[in-house]
Each structure stands twice: as C-alpha cells, then as structure tokens.
Amino acid sequence: MEKHQIKYGDKLISFELERKNVKNVNLNIKPDMTITVSASEKVPLDFIYGFVKGKGAWITKNIKDFESVQPYKQSEREYVSGESYKYLGKQYRLRVRTVEQKEEVKYFRGFLYLYVKAQDNYSRKAKLMEEWYRTKVKNTFEKSLVKMYPLVEKYGVAKPGVELRTMKARWGSALVDTNTILLNTELIKAPKHCIDYVVLHELIHFKYNDHSDSFYKMLYSLMPDWEKRKAILDEEIVREL
C-alpha cells in the first residue's frame, strides 16, 4: 500500500492507498484509527485527494469516536491480600489462599477469595482474576441485554450482539453498522440497575442514532429514573477507575 497525506483545516489526514479492481473509491477507518482507501488504477491521485478531503468532517468525527474507546492501562495490581475490588456496586477485599488442588476465585460476604497453588506466581494470580472478572462481565451484560431488549423490540429494533472492551471515556457504544453494542468491562463495578441504563441507552441508539429530543423522549418513557442511574456512574464509579 502507498502512504499519503492531505491537509484538512489545521489537521493532517494520513491514509494508505490500495490500488485494486473496484468500481468506486472506498474509504475505511479501522478501530486502530488507520485510514485505508481503495481505488482502481484508473482513478487519478488528485481525485482521490479531493475525495478524502471531502470526507474530512466524517473522518475527524470517527477518529474522535475511536479515540474515546481505545483501551487504557489500568493501575498495577499485586494480587495480594487486602487489595480492594469493586463488583456490582459493592467493595470486596481480596484474600489470597494457598491450595494444592483447584485454583479459582470466589466471592463471599464482602471478600474475594483467590485460591492459588503458589502465592508468588504473579502471572497465574493475574490470569485467574482476569478470567473470573471476564466471566462475570459476560454473564452480567448478556443478562442485562435479555432484560432490556424487550423494551425496544416493539419499535423494530433488531437484537444486537455484545462485545466487550476496557475503555477510557465511554460506558458503551452502539455500532449500528454491525448491529453490535460495545460495552466497557469497567461497568462490572457498577450496580446492576446502572448497567441496565447503559444497555438501554445503547439499544435506543439503534432507533435514534443521535442524542436528539426523540432519543431522550424514548429514554424517559422507558426508564424515567435514568438520570439517577447515570449520576451514580458519573459520580461514584468514575472516581474509582
């Protein structure tokens, strides 16, 4: 692929050009924010530059959207007894225990128990905790979707799939083109009714892909207390990220 740049306002837009046997000039932005353009050998370079520049506003908006869902690095954990973990709105202290048989994670009466064969095996402890959280995230979010989807089904919204990602600036995102809801794994720290709010919020975007009056009118009608749920996320959960 050839690498090119054009100036759009005070910004430089870099893109990769692939010459292939296609009828139209096609532009695509990947989740890693790489911009690719495909066009046949017959299309002049000047035309392609003009095409990309004409898409400048759309490119800028989508790059900004992708930036907000880029994974972020969480603060380092040591996975030792006494560390604090939030799960579904409640705080749990970690207790690490040595076992000879099954390694696992359980939660009980305010504590998370990490059973591991070697307490000095950092990578194993990290993997066990990650797998436990991942399983809880997947199950919890899918149950929320099952609960919330019937509210929008009657409006002709097709049931979307769910993808998970740890994000730095969003609780969720409706990927309309792929009929998918992208949910922030950090939501597992929030109470279930707050998770339900985020899921419903994104579901409504498949009916109104904006934040128009129609969007909020539908949100209010389906979840009158959504602002209280959002406030818990913004004021209590965000502080601990």
In order along its 241 residues, the chain shows pLDDT tens digits of 788 999 888 888 999 999 988 888 999 887 667 899 999 999 999 999 999 999 998 888 877 766 655 444 445 788 999 998 889 998 899 999 999 999 999 988 889 999 999 999 999 999 999 999 989 999 999 999 999 999 999 999 999 999 998 887 789 999 999 999 999 998 999 999 999 999 999 999 999 999 999 999 999 999 999 999 998 887 777 555 4
Final residue of a domain: which of 48, 68, 88?
68
Please name the residues in contact with 59: beta carbons below 8 A apart, sequence gap of 6 or more.
8, 13, 27, 29, 35, 52
Tell me: do 62 and 137 sit in the same domain.
no
Final residue of a domain: which of 22, 37, 68?
68
How far is the CA of 29 from the CAs of 21, 65, 116, in angstroms?
Answer: 20, 11, 43
pTM for this entry: 0.65
Q: Which domain holds residue 180?
A: 130-240
Tell me: do 63 and 157 sit in the same domain.
no
Asked whether residue 94 is domain-assigned, the answer is no
Asked whether residue 148 is domain-assigned, the answer is yes
What total of structural domains would you count in the chain? 2
Q: ∠ at Cα 199 (164, 160), nearest 5°?
A: 70
Integer Cα distance of 234 and 237 in angstroms: 6
Domain CATH code at residue 184: 3.30.2010.10
Structural contact between residues 113 and 93, judged by C-beta atoms closer than 8 angstroms: no
Final residue of a domain: which of 23, 47, 68?
68
Asked whether residue 98 is domain-assigned, the answer is no
Tell me: do 137 and 40 sit in the same domain.
no
